Amino acid sequence: FTVCHVATARGLSLPVPPSLPSQRPLCTGRDEVRLAEEASRKYGSPAPTIFSKVVDKSIPADIIYEDEKCLAFRDISPQAPVHFLVIPRIPIPRISEAKDDDLLGHLLVVAKNVAKQESLDEGYRVVINDGKHGSQSVYHLHIHVLGGRQMSWPPG
């Protein structure tokens, strides 16, 4: 079973020592679609998401930034040499349902500032997945920031 960041939507979490980044598997497109379909079926469930548990610190995460509105932490299965997530403390299920423009702007500014802190001076990619067709695997808004290598296009 391939462990990917998206697998955490099912509550799976297998820590891999940071000294072994090359042994962290990449997600396949099939895994991503399957997990997004599973997550969309659970959408609206009262159960806390894996990211809500990161916010309340009931599960560990490598947090690299936090303030009163959001936090940023390293992805459990990075898809680039640098891969972190920025999430709001208050769960917003999907960006298409977001209403707080100030919070959305704050999340992007934090993504930019943490990218600078992580020395992503050559550039980086910012990704937000929304809904089943967008392969959203956790229904708690999260911004992926990927960098440290040349990105290709199209992404998926």
The token pair that represents 59 in the structure block:
């599960």
Residues 6+ apart with CB under 8 A from 91: 49, 51, 52, 55, 140, 141
Pairing of strands 143-147, 82-88: antiparallel
3-state DSSP assignment of residue 53: helix
Residues that are catalytic: 142
